[in-house]
Chains A and B, each alone.
Chain A
Amino acid sequence: MDISAHIAAGLKQLGNPGVVTEDCFSKLLEAGVSVITDSQKLPNLTQLCNFKGDAIKESYAALLSVLIEAARHDIYPDALSIILLQDYNFGAQRNDKLIGIYRQYKTRLQAALSHIGTHPPHIIDASWTLDYCIKASNLEQVGDFLYLIQFHTESCQGCGSGTSVSRFKFLCTQEELQDLVWKLRDAVRHVERIANTCDLSQRCYTNLAK
């Protein structure tokens, strides 16, 4: 886990009971986790702990960095505990508190991090209308079915600022819809086949390991 010198200094302060009291530490921990997972308004740090403003800010920054880096690299809680004890002189009680929170919130931290990045619009739903076209302005009689398909897509603008739903519309005839459905069914079959082979290979691997 690579941490800059600045953050390392902040971490040492975080572990120091003289700079950050137990009560303050718990409050910082709560605030830090809620900011990462919920992206609420930034908490007013001077209200939480009312002395040594700069030291508190540095410790808070270090706490956030440690949580995010650990989640990002998928570090085990025990490994993190050892790092904090040995390199940053964390007291046993404080260490347990932090590791407990990390263990509890690890998946949510990782979920929040996975929203960051660029993705193509993600399809979440499809809706359709079936029309029977009787007449058109330049043809007197068109007796044919026409489908209007809408794909609802979601693009995540980063955790907390919500997701925007947009729709892609297009027309197709019966034959074209049949073609589309065949292609999608093909994709589904492929995914299921891969899922089954992964299952099998995992079972084989565990059998071999035994």
Chain B
Amino acid sequence: MLLSLKDDHKQHISLLISQPTNVLQDFCRLALDYLRKGPTPKLYQTAAQKLDVQPEIIRNAVEGLVNLLVESCRHQLSDIDFHDTVLTLGFSEEHQETLESFYRGKKQEIYDVLSQLTLDQPHYHDLEWRFEVQVASRALQHQVTPLITMNLALETKTGLASDSTTTKNIVLQTDPTNLVHITQVLEEALQESRSQHSRRIQRSFK
């Protein structure tokens, strides 16, 4: 499957096509820095002076390279597909090798980050439980009421960085009968995902 890039994207990357391989390697390194720390205007200035172009063009080229990487990860391009895409864009064989090693190195990491961006609903994190007996209260003394108190920890991803998550702790209570009931219900749910029907669907979409 070939990636089709937008026209302005292709234009930004076209600067790199005419450059020698070592310059392309420098650009790959700049792109890696961009992924880790964000844009570095000073480096772009020095690169612009060396290549005798505007700093914006350097910045566009770096961002174009990063976007190429992100789009390839999004579509889960295999090595061959990436190879073909890069050749279609106009890069030479040596350029293509540099770019491929760049892609292979960062593929998994970017895929993990992208997959974390989809979740924004509370997600199960942990459950702690405690079995207790209520002995008395102000309104009624001499009780023997068994209760199970639970602390359900839920995580919600906030913001685009993968390590900003808000954890919400919900304290819930139930009695032994209801505990048995919900355990049964959730076990049924788990069984359902192992049933034939679910497996057939999984196979047909793979």
Contacts and interface: CB of A to CB of B under 8 A. Distances in A.
B150 to A, nearest CB: 8
Contact of A171 (B75, B124, B206): B124
Interface in A135-176: 136-143, 145, 147, 149, 151, 153, 168-172, 174, 176
Nearest to B170: A168
Contact of A168 (B111, B114, B152, B181): B152
A169 B198 CA distance: 23
B123 A172 contact: yes
Interface in B107-143: 111, 114-115, 117-119, 121-124, 127, 129, 131, 137-143
A117 B172 contact: no
B2 interface: no
B154 interface: yes
B179 interface: yes
A178 B183 contact: no
Interface stretch (B29-37, B44-52, B53-61, B185-193): B185-193
A114 B186 contact: no
Contacts of B138: 116-117
**Interface SS majority for chain B:** mixed
Interface residues of B, number: 55
Interface in A80-122: 110, 113-114, 116-117, 119-122
B24 interface: no
Interface in B160-203: 170-176, 178-183, 185-187, 189-190, 192-193, 198, 201-202
Interface string B85-126: 000000000000000000000000001001101110111100
A123 B187 contact: no
A171 to B, nearest CB: 5
Contacts of A132: 198, 201-202, 205
Contacts of B172: 120-123, 151, 153, 168
A183 interface: yes
A149 B171 contact: no
B143 A114 contact: yes
A142 B122 contact: no
A41 interface: no
**Interface SS majority for chain A:** mixed
B185 A183 contact: no
Given A73-B141, A110-B140, A124-B178, A174 B123 contact: no
Interface string A186-201: 1110110011000000
A35 interface: no
B66 interface: no
Contacts of B21: none
A111 B84 CA distance: 75
Contact of A181 (B76, B146, B186): B186
Interface of A: 71-74, 110, 113-114, 116-117, 119-128, 130, 132, 134, 136-143, 145, 147, 149, 151, 153, 168-172, 174, 176-178, 180-181, 183-188, 190-191, 194-195
7 interchain residue pairs of minimum CB distance: A172-B124, A116-B139, A74-B142, A123-B174, A113-B140, A126-B182, A128-B189
28 contacts: A72-B141, A110-B140, A114-B137, A114-B145, A116-B137, A116-B140, A122-B173, A122-B178, A125-B181, A126-B186, A130-B189, A130-B193, A136-B118, A138-B118, A139-B115, A139-B118, A140-B75, A142-B118, A143-B205, A143-B206, A170-B124, A177-B124, A181-B183, A181-B187, A185-B183, A187-B129, A188-B179, A194-B131
